[in-house]
Each structure stands twice: as structure tokens, then as C-alpha cells.
Amino acid sequence: MNTRQQSKLIYSWYGKPMSSDRKLRTSQYKAILITSESSRTETCIQLGDFILVEGVNADQPYVAQLMDLYEDGAQHKRAVVQWFCRLEEIPQNKRKLLKREISAQEVFFDQVLGYDTDIAAETIIKSIMVLPLHLGEELPIITLNKEQTFYVKQSWDGKCFKVLSPDTFSKLKEANKKRGVITNSSKAFIPSDIITPVKKETESVVRSATKPKNIDMEIESKHSASKSSLAKERHSQRVANNDIKTPTARKKLELNSPSRSKGRLLGCEVLSLLDDDCDAVAPLVPSATKRKVKFTSEILGSPPKIPCSNDKSKSTSETAEHCQRFSDTIRLSPYTKVKDFSEKDKNLHGKDDNLSLVEYQKPSSQSPLLTPRSRRTCAQKTSALIAEQISPLKSHGKLAAEEDDLSGSDSSYSSSSEEEEEDDDVPCTPEKKTKSSRIFSTPKSSRKPAVHTPAKTLKKTPLPGTPRTPRNATPEIPRRIQAAQEPASVLEEARLRLHVSAIPESLPCREEEFQDIYNFVESKLIDGTGGCMYISGVPGTGKTATVHEVIRCLQQAAENDELPPFQFVEINGMKLTDPHQAYVQILEFLTGQKVTATHAAVLLAKLFSTPGPKRKTTVLIVDELDLLWTRKQNVMYNLFDWPTQKHSKLIILAIANTMDLPERIMMNRVASRLGLTRMSFQPYTYKQLQQIISSRLKGVKAFEEDAVQLVSRKVAALSGDARRCLDICRRATEICEFARQKRTQEIVRMAHVTEAIDEMFSSPYVNAIRNASLHEQIFLKAILAEFRRAGVEEATVQQVYQHHVALCRMEGLQSPTVSEIMAICSRLGACRLLLVEASNKYLHMRVRLNLSQDDVMYALREE
Amino acid sequence: MSKRKLKESSAESAECISLVQKILRERLCHHCAAGKLFGMEQQYRHLLELLRRTMVHGESNSALIIGPRGAGKTALLNHVLKDLREMKQVTENLLEVHLNGLLQTNDKVALKEITRQLQLENVVGDKIFGSFAENLAFLLEALRRGNRTSSCPILFVLDEFDLFVHHKNQTLLYNLFDISQSAQTPVTVIGLTCRQDILELLEKRVKSRFSHRQIYLMNSFDFKQYIKIFKTQLSLPDDFPDESFAQKWNNNIQHLSEDKTVQDVLQNLFHHTKDLRSLHLLLMLAVSAVTVHHPLLTAADLQEASRQHTTDSKANIVHGLSVLEICLIIAMKHLNDVYDGEPFNFQMVYNEFQKFIQRKAHSMYNFEKPVVMKAFEHLLQLELVKPLERPSVRAQREYLLMKLLLDSSQIMDALQVYPNCPTDVKQWAASSLSWL
């Protein structure tokens, strides 16, 4: 199956059309053939088969059942499917309705309305198994093809989970039966993934097994760059495939070795396990060396160590992890013992390899479903022979098993923590790794914990004191140790409510704007189309708050089923380091992928320009739009171009400060795409500000009526910034608290408010000049005198110095030296009362006042 | 006090003196650490209350402490933090992040420093992994996840706040202030700056998010308080081991503060600058004069210190010049007078000098032109003369335009005290026309 990623795939109909509709010019077929060019394998997928369909996230292809195949009038191959949804596709808050643990292999029969069930046939990746189970039933442990087998127990209709109706249950069961019969009988259509050239691999296995001494060396060289370059190459191929829109199945398979779920495995089981593992995995991996090492290191008698995914498109960091694991296993067993044991065992290996060699050739001629059984029995024979030799090592096995138990208990994060620990031992630099993991778009490990957790049979207990590498670090601030105190007095309560961060139940004075935005988004949602809206207004007029309120209401409505569901993404230009990072953040919100900016742009463009199945409408808020400006304006262009695409279903609410931003900074083609749906938030009037304050203070008697009015009038006259208004009120409560005497309840009065306003709005210059030292004041006077003399508002220090000396003589003061004058000048310059040049010009440094001459005079006169 | 008595006491006071010097040196050099606060009780209460609320109630805030250099901004903050840490409800309940605009010169560095100081999970040892964008996203996500009641409050101290304003887009400031204005992890942002126009430098959306609390430190004390500060800074503490010496010392300080000359010295300094750092510098010089043989500070010590403190640096250099160099400077002074401060070149100076030699000078030897050139270059090196433009290969050195970095009053003062200055040179200096 992995070979598919590299080769072009050809989709063709199997057989003649079953029926055709003349009018619609469609013809229906019963099966489709997928031919891979390079490996020359064919896969036949028939109606009723379960399939994987290419999705937004390449790691999580959609699961579906093929219901219909037809070719439409335009010669496009189409398919109608019944969806199954994975746990990841269900909203986080609904997942808890399940009240049970969900394995990664479990899917839900999808009954959500509104998903497009008509898809392009080219998006089909391959066929899989979906087995219906009854609710209480345990998942059968199937060691083969685990990644291709899914189970369905319940159905999901967007609101709640239901047990499968007997009707659907039997239908599903039937579909499976039918499929089994077909695959068994028709040998021509064995799924391609099972058939791959195996010979080469087995040969290499034999080779390596006969000379186990090399193992350590090979392991050492494992985490070399060669692999990452290999992966990179493949990756680039994949990317290239994306670009030229070939209907490639870009699927990453999480191929887990099947034996994970068995906790304790001791020596004799090793081989059987190993065999299972190999037949599931070996054919898939083209790199023989990797395989080889793994194989032999396990035979060495170390505790069962199973490589997890061999998916080539996985990040290098993960492969590095594998290598580490192998070396770990070896390290765990006492070195000398292993050595002599391996020597003794040489013959045995030979046998074993012969056996497996024979077996490996079998599957090519046999039906894949049957092989594991037979192989397992063979392996058991050999394992009996080995059992004796292994006994001295059993203690290690136990140890390992115990450790496994210990660590196996921690659930989703254990996998990540394990990775982290193991990374520490890897001698390559972690920077490199993080980089590569970024490039290779590893999904967050937390997103698919269940896939990872079974992937270990051995784990080290975390070493105390080892630093953790930050790859999977959770962003978190430590919790406080002492509980936060609740407000005790009326003033404290008022202060809490007046804080800008306190979210009021409703936004007063923005009802109209709210309604306009709400209507806009709602109509687009209902129509299933896209659109842009530009919202402007000076800071502190409630733009972002109103938009958030709209989204909150819409989400509420969507939850109540009054509106179709939608995704909500928010980016803020100020919170991006670079405009192009916008792509990265949007993509991460939508799919959870972490990729570079350029790659993200490609993926997003593809996402929004192609009709995707199961696509919900996306509402995107772009705050501080002006910061997304680049010289070519391609970020803005793309953002506003996507909504105009037919299938994008993207609604953009762009927020910025300036009303004429589109005309001022945008090119014509960008501005035209933004459209004319504009809204501007006017600064609050004093009445509105008053209403805002009083609505927040409802039920708390902390302010005099007049005091509130004074604040709102003052702020409205200056800026109409609600934040400022609230800050002044908050400061006033503090002043009131300072001023009050001994526990007497007091409310904020005019005096307090006036003081707060003075504090915030008074110019600091006058005060600074009045508190300056005498010579500093004289220097300012000298500057004024020089300005008046020269008629120019600029002078050199030398000129001012003359005046300064003269003034000092008049006042009867000792005249300062030039050094002192320079010190005074630089001090005033540091406060920015003066604007001065670089001081290396010394006496010829030019000086200018940073405030008006009148202010200086006013400040100096009143003494 | 008789001489004999003094000698007797000298032996035992040797350690006293070294102890005194130790105490005073600590007090005068490390002004932030232990020094007392003068004249900022109100500001202290405001800041303490502000930070206490952040710690106890989880209230987010932002404030700026503004005041000229040496006004005690950092001292105030350190005091408040020290007192806060001693409070019971606050201990262990506060994360501090200290940034300095001179060290964190861009947002990338600042972000790494914040992450490092918070010890978030992407920090290993002292290294932070990930790109700038990742770090920012990570930090914002971390802060966004917290809430008022359960997260540990964070105090951000931005020293040299005005330098953060020049970072690209003011991203860091926007984000810090935005967090302080939204329901996330409680943070308090304290900026320290000496610029009075700091608010005008903030971008409007950043400014809107700033809560506009400004705490001004202005050195707003008068001379009486200044004298008091002088006394407290020099007095020995009550727990000084040798009580009799301490008493003697303190009495002496009391006398000094009432002495006329001392008051003059202090008044002079006070007129020049009110910041306490220069007072400390003066006292440091004076206290250095205290030895076993000279155990108590005298008014003369202070006067001497003041003299050192106020000397003119450029005039000092002039004292060490040769007569030829002095002559060149005088020639330049005359050129400045004649051409009203226009720049001159070496050739003009040389001509002026030649005129003087030929007409007037009897005591002066007529130097060769290269020798005069050498002297001129020495002045250039001492930065008494500054070229207008960088010397280029093409322009001849003789014709490079120069400016004199001395004021005529400085030259005259320097000549007064210049030893063995020939009288005709002095006369020439007094008047360029005197040789006529």
C-alpha cells in the first residue's frame, strides 16, 4: 500500500455498466479497479465494500462504505458512500457522552445530515474491513491488518450515540461476508498491500541473522541522517503529488504491530509474535536494513520489542525513536549473556530463518487472511526449541513486563512521554528533530493517543532528573498554590466587574452591530456559501467582543440544531510573528497539522478550492487585519480569494482599526475581493459609556450617579474608548479605598473620579519640569532665551551655555562648568524634555524642546 | 580631643573604621539592595497594593513607573517585591519575569527569555526549542489556558521599557497588555522608564490595552529633606558593635550637617541635580578619605570630594598640553571669534600661529610646519578638535575642516592655572588684536 504513494494510480471501471440513465447520461458500475503503475498491482473495490477516503488530514482518512458507483455526464467517476466517522471527527464536548473508552479502531455509523455523500471516485484510497459488533462486546484481538480493520458499535447522528439498529447491523454483516467470499475466491484481486516483493527482504533477514555480531554496530548507525533523507525524499514526492492534483491516495497508515495489546510476553512467545509482526510489516517496508536490525535484535532474546509503525511518511523523529528502542532492548539485557547466548543460538537462527523464508514466500500465492495462522504454528515449533535457551533471560523478560505494567497504566500521554525520554538518549541534536517533525507534518501525538499507546511492550520507567525534550510539551502555566481570594467588600466586587476582562452577559449599546453581523453570518451559513465582511473602528469600541458574542450565539444555535454546524477559527495579526504564519495557524486549527507556511498555503488552497466531502462551513475571524499586509499582499489576497471559490464555504470577518484600510493599503484586486460588506463601529457616546458602566455595576452600589457620568463624558470627549473608561473607574475605586477611614463603607464620589482622571490624563511634562533641579530649570530658561534671540527653535549647547552663565550671574549662583552643563543636558534629554543629538558632538550638539515653549514658560513661572 | 588620646583609641578603632567603610560602601554602591526609600511613600503604597491584588485576587493589571534616571524606580520595585515576598498570602504564589530592554533587543530574544524564566515545558535546561512563531504560539496558548482563580499570577517587569516600544509592531507589548485585559492567566506588567513621552510612543491599539496607570517618581524633595537624606545615609545603624564610636560618628555627622561649608557643598550639588545617585557618588569620594589616622569625616573632605566631582573634564586635559599645543588652541579660539564659529582647517590655524610668532612672540621658537602638524594631530587625538567629516584619502590633511570642542571661557580658565605659561602667550590669548 505504501508503494501507492509513490506511483500514479489509475482508476478504471471494472466490467460493463450495470445500468445507465440516458437522460442524465450516467452509467452505474458495480466495481472499480485501482491500478498502481509502478508496482503493477490491481485492486478491485466493489459496491458494499468498506473503503478509506482521502480526507483533510492525510493521517486520518475517512472511513466509508461504498454504496454506488457511477460515471456522470462529464465522464467523471463518482461514488456514493455511507460515512463512518472516527472519534476524532466528533466534537470534543460530545465525546464524553460515550462514557467509555474508544479504541482507535472503532468508528461510528454516521447519520449526520448534511454531509456530502457523493464523492469523486479518485479519492478512494483502498478497501478495508469494518466489522459490526454489539455494544458490550469486546474488540476481538486481530493481529493481522489491524490498521485496516475497523469496528462499529454505535451510530452517531450529530447529537447522540445510538446502538446500531438490527437492520443496519445485519446489512453491515452481510457486506462483510460478501467481501470475504469475493476476496477469497477471486485471486486476481487480492488487495495490493499484501502483495509486494518480499524476497529481497527475507534474503536480507537471513543474511543479518547469520551474523548477529554486527547488530550493535548497525544499531549505532541507525539514527543517522540517511533515514531522514529517505523520508524527506518521499515526502517531497508526496508534496509534488499534491501539487499536480493527481488523485493520489496520500494516506499515512498507522501500522501498529499487532501484538501490542498483549501485556506480558515472555521468551517463548517472542517468536510467534515476531512472526506475526513480520508478516504484517515486512512487506510494507522497502528499506531492508531497517527490518534486518529489528528482526535480529529481537531474536537475541531481549524482551519482546515491537516496532510500531513502519509507515514511511512518518516523521524521522519517530523512526529515531524506533532505533532507540532497539538499542534499549539490547542495553537492558546483560551484555555478555546476550553475546554468548546469541552465539549458541546461531544454528537455531539459521533454522528459524529458513523456516520464515519459506513462509514468506507463501503469502504471495495464498490468500492473505489465512497466512498468519499457519505461520504462527510454524513459529511455535521453533519457539519450543528456543525456550530452553531463553530461560536464563526470563528474569529480564519479567522485569520488562513489570515495567511495562507500570508505565502502561498512564493513558494518553504515556506515549508522548516515552518518546521524549527516548529522545534524550539519542545523541543527535533535538533541534534537528523538531525541525524535521515540523516539515513532515507529524500529527500531534495527543490527537491519536490510542494509536500510540498499544505500541509498546517495553518501557523504561522515567529516569529522575533527565530533562525532557519539548516536542510534545503542553503549554501550561503552573497552578497557584493558595486559592485566590474572592472580593470581600463592595468596592472589590465593583473592581472585579469593572475589569475589562470580565465578560458581561450581554453587550449593551452594540445591539445593531451585533444583529448585522449575526444576520450576515447566519445567512451565509444557511446558504452554505462563503463571504467576507470588513469591520472597522477605533480601539476599545467593542469590535472583537461583539464578533465573539456573535460566534457564541451562533454556536449556541448550531448546538440547538437551528443552524448547520460550523467550524470557528480565529487569528490575530498581532499574535503572528510573520503574516505568512496565518496559513500555519489556520491549517492547524482546521486539521491539526503542523507544517511550514508555504506548505500550509498550498494545503489550504487545495482545501478551499476543491469540493470536500463532509466539509463544514468555516467562520474565520481575522483580527488586526492591517498587520497581514505584505509587499505583494498575497496573504490578504488568498484570504479574501478563498471565500469566492465555489466550494470553499468560508466566511471571513476581518477586523481592523481604520475605516479606509481597503482603499489605503490594499491593491485593487485585494480590495475588490474583500467586497463592500463593511461595518464601522463608532466611538461610544457618553450615554453609551454610562450604560456600559451601570450595566456592569448592576446590583452593586459602589458609584455615585454623577461620578459615572463625569467619567463617561470625559472619555467620550477624548476617545470613546470603553477600556479607558473602565480603567478610570477601577482606579477610582482604588483611590476611594485608600482615602476612606477605618472600615467605613464608602462609595466612589466625584472627588475620587476627578483624581483618577487627573492621574491618567495630566501631562507629565509640567510636573517633571517643576521637580527638576535649579540648574536644569535655568538651562531650560537659557534655551528659551536663545530661541528668542535666534528666532529658530534649535540651538547648540555652546550657545545655550552662554545664556546659562549669564543667567547664573544674574541669580548670583556659581556658574557651572561645561561638563556639568553636558550632564544636565543629557539628563533632560533622557527624560525627553529635550531632544538632543548624539553626545559625541559635545558643545556643538543641537538641542530642541520636546514640548511647546509656552508649556515650559508656564511650568517655570509658577514658583 | 588630645593627640595622646587619639593614638590610644586608634588601635581599637582600626576594625571599627573598616566596618564603617564596609557598611557605608554597601549603602552607597548598592543603592537598590538595602537603601531606604525617600519621598515616595505614596507611590510605594500604590504599587504594593497593585501587586498584592494581583497575587491575592488574581487581578490583571499594567502600570508604568516613570521617572528620571537615578530617581529610584528599580529601588522602589525591589522594595515592594521584597515586602511582598514576606507576606503570607503571597509566598510561592508568584512567578516573576524580568526583562531588560538593553538585553532583550527584539521580540524573539524576549520571548525566549520569558519562556526560560517561566520554565514552561519546552525548556530543557537553559535551551528553548522551536522557531519564533512556535514559541509565540506556545506561550500565548499557555497563558490563554489559565484563568483568574486557578493559575499562578505572573509579574512581568520590563526594565528600559522605552526600548521595547521600538520592537517590530510592538508585538510583545500588545500581547502582554492584551493578556492583562482578557480573562486569561492573571498577569501584571510593570514597565520602568525614564522617558516622559512614553505613552506617545505606544501604538494606538497597544495604548488602548494599557491600563494607563502611571507612577511618577520625581525627586520631589526640598533641600531640608536633602540634608536629612545626607544624614541618614551617613549615620551608623544602632546595632553597630562599638557603641561609643558609633555615637561619636553620628554626632560628627550631625555637626557636619549643620556646618555652613558642608551645606554650601550640598546646596551646590542639589542645585545641579537632585538625584540621589550623584549624592552617593560625592559621599563615596568623601568616605574614602576616612582612615585610622583620620577617623571622622570633616567638612574639608566633603569640599575636596566636591571639587573632584565638579571638575571640568576637557579643561583638565588642557592643563597637560605643551605650550605649542596651547598656542594652536588659542589660534583656533581667535579663528572662532573672527569667523563666528565657522569650521577651520590646519592651514588657517598655522597661518594664525605664524602671524603671532612673527609679530609678537619673543619667547616662542618658530617650529617647523611638520612639528606643528604633529601637535595639531595630538589635539585631534585628544578630541579637543573634531573633524566635520571622516578623513578621506583624497582630501589633504591640512585642508580638512575642523571644529574646536572647547568654549573660550574654558580656554581662559585653563590658561589661568596653566603652569609656566609665557606672558606673551597669555596676552595673545586675552586679545587677538594685542599684537597690533
User: Does pLDDT of A336 surpass 50?
Assistant: no
pLDDT tens digits, one per residue of A220-273: 444 444 444 444 444 444 444 444 443 433 434 344 444 443 434 444 444 444
Q: What's the number of CA atoms in the CB half-sphere (13 Å) around residue A368?
A: 22
**Chain B positions in Cβ-Cβ contact with residue A817 (cut-off 8 Å):** 310-312, 315, 410
- B208·A814 Cβ contact <8 A: no
* Cβ-based neighbour number of residue B229 at 10 Å: 17
Estimate the crossing angle of helix B223-234 against helix B276-287, to 10 degrees: 40
User: Does pLDDT of A312 surpass 80?
Assistant: no
- B56·A484 Cβ contact <8 A: yes
**Chain B positions in Cβ-Cβ contact with residue A584 (cut-off 8 Å):** 133
* Strand B385-387 versus strand B402-404 pairing type: antiparallel
A498-681 maps to which CATH number? 3.40.50.300
Instruction: Report the mean per-residue pLDDT for chain A.
Output: 70
Rounded CA-CA distance B262/B284 in Å is: 15
Residues of chain A within CATH 2.30.30.490 domain(s) are 9-180
Residues of chain A within CATH 3.40.50.300 domain(s) are 498-681
Best interface-test mutation with B: which of A480, A571, A635 has the largest number of B CBs within 10 A?
A: A480
- B124·A817 Cβ contact <8 A: no
DSSP H or E stretch at residue A566: strand A566-572
pLDDT at A709: 92
- A480·B150 Cβ contact <8 A: yes
Q: Which residue has the cell 554468548?
A: A340
User: Does pLDDT of A21 surpass 80?
Assistant: no
Best interface-test mutation with B: which of A413, A416, A574 has the largest number of B CBs within 10 A?
A: A574
Best interface-test mutation with A: which of B108, B121, B220 has the largest number of A CBs within 10 A?
A: B121
Dig out the grid coordinates for A586 from the structure: 489556520
Mean pLDDT of A7-23: 74
Start-to-end CA distance of chain A, whole Å, equals: 90
**Chain A positions in Cβ-Cβ contact with residue B204 (cut-off 8 Å):** 538-539, 657
| Contact (CB, 8 A) for A596 and B133 | no
**Chain B positions in Cβ-Cβ contact with residue A764 (cut-off 8 Å):** 66, 196, 214, 216
pLDDT at A422: 40
Name which of B89, B124, B197 is nearest A468 (Cβ-Cβ).
Answer: B124
User: Which of residues A82 and A458 earns the better pLDDT score?
Assistant: A82
Name which of A471, A485, A768 is nearest B218 (Cβ-Cβ).
Answer: A768
Name which of A438, A500, A832 is nearest B196 (Cβ-Cβ).
Answer: A832
Rounded CA-CA distance B194/A126 in Å is: 68
- B151·A477 Cβ contact <8 A: yes
**Beta strand extents in A87-148 (DSSP E only):** 106-110, 118-120, 124-132
CA distance A652 to chain B (A): 22
- B212·A760 Cβ contact <8 A: yes
Residues of chain A within CATH 1.10.8.60 domain(s) are 686-761
Q: What Å distances lie between residue A713 and A497, A510, A684, A728, A748, CA to CA?
A: 20, 19, 10, 12, 17
Rounded CA-CA distance A838/A847 in Å is: 10
User: Which of residues B122 and A92 earns the better pLDDT score?
Assistant: B122
Tens digits of pLDDT across chain B (436 residues): 444 444 555 556 788 888 888 888 888 887 655 567 777 888 999 999 999 888 888 889 999 999 998 888 888 998 898 888 888 777 777 889 999 999 999 999 999 899 889 888 777 777 777 888 888 888 898 888 888 888 888 999 999 999 999 998 899 999 999 999 888 889 999 999 999 999 999 999 999 999 989 999 988 888 999 999 899 888 888 888 888 888 888 999 999 999 999 999 999 999 999 888 888 889 999 988 888 888 888 899 999 999 888 888 888 888 888 889 999 999 999 998 888 888 998 999 999 888 888 876 666 777 888 999 999 999 999 989 888 877 676 778 888 888 898 888 888 888 888 878 888 888 888 876 654 4
Q: What Å distances lie between residue A498 and A494, A729, A752, B184, CA to CA?
A: 6, 7, 16, 16
- A469·B129 Cβ contact <8 A: yes
CATH class of A686-761: mainly alpha
Q: What Å distances lie between residue A351 and A341, A357, A572, B105, B337, CA to CA?
A: 16, 10, 64, 67, 109
Q: Which residue has the cell 489550504?
A: A604
CA distance B13 to chain A (A): 38
Rounded CA-CA distance A676/B19 in Å is: 79
Residue B293 DSSP SS3: coil
Q: Which of A429, A427, A406 is nearest to A418 (CA)?
A: A406
Which listed CATH number (1.10.10.10, 3.40.640.10, 3.40.50.720, 2.30.30.490) goes with A9-180?
2.30.30.490
Tell me the helix, strand and coil percentages in chain B, rounded to 5: 55, 10, 35
Mean pLDDT of A754-766: 88
- A477·B121 Cβ contact <8 A: no
What's A27-39 look like in SS3? EEECEEEEEECCC
Name which of B108, B148, B410 is nearest A484 (Cβ-Cβ).
Answer: B148
pLDDT at A790: 92
- B270·A481 Cβ contact <8 A: no
CATH class of A764-860: mainly alpha
Rounded CA-CA distance A581/A594 in Å is: 11
pLDDT at B356: 85
- B216·A479 Cβ contact <8 A: no
User: Does pLDDT of A570 surpass 50?
Assistant: yes
**Chain A positions in Cβ-Cβ contact with residue B137 (cut-off 8 Å):** 575, 585
DSSP secondary structure letter of residue B363: S
DSSP H or E stretch at residue A41: strand A41-46
Residues of chain A within CATH 1.10.10.10 domain(s) are 764-860
pLDDT at A144: 59
Closest residue in B to A762 (Cα) is B214
**Chain B positions in Cβ-Cβ contact with residue A724 (cut-off 8 Å):** 208, 212
pLDDT at A379: 47
For the stretch B79-86, contacts whose Cβ atoms lie closer than 8 Å and that sit 24 or more positions apart, written own/partner, are: B79/B37, B79/B44, B80/B44, B80/B47, B80/B48, B80/B51, B81/B51, B83/B48, B84/B48, B84/B51, B84/B52, B84/B55
**Chain A positions in Cβ-Cβ contact with residue B49 (cut-off 8 Å):** 734, 738
pLDDT tens digits, one per residue of A390-436: 444 444 444 444 444 444 444 334 343 344 444 344 343 343 333 33
Rounded CA-CA distance A211/A225 in Å is: 25
pLDDT band at A357; cut points 50, 70, 90: very low
Q: What's the number of CA atoms in the CB half-sphere (13 Å) around residue A13?
A: 18
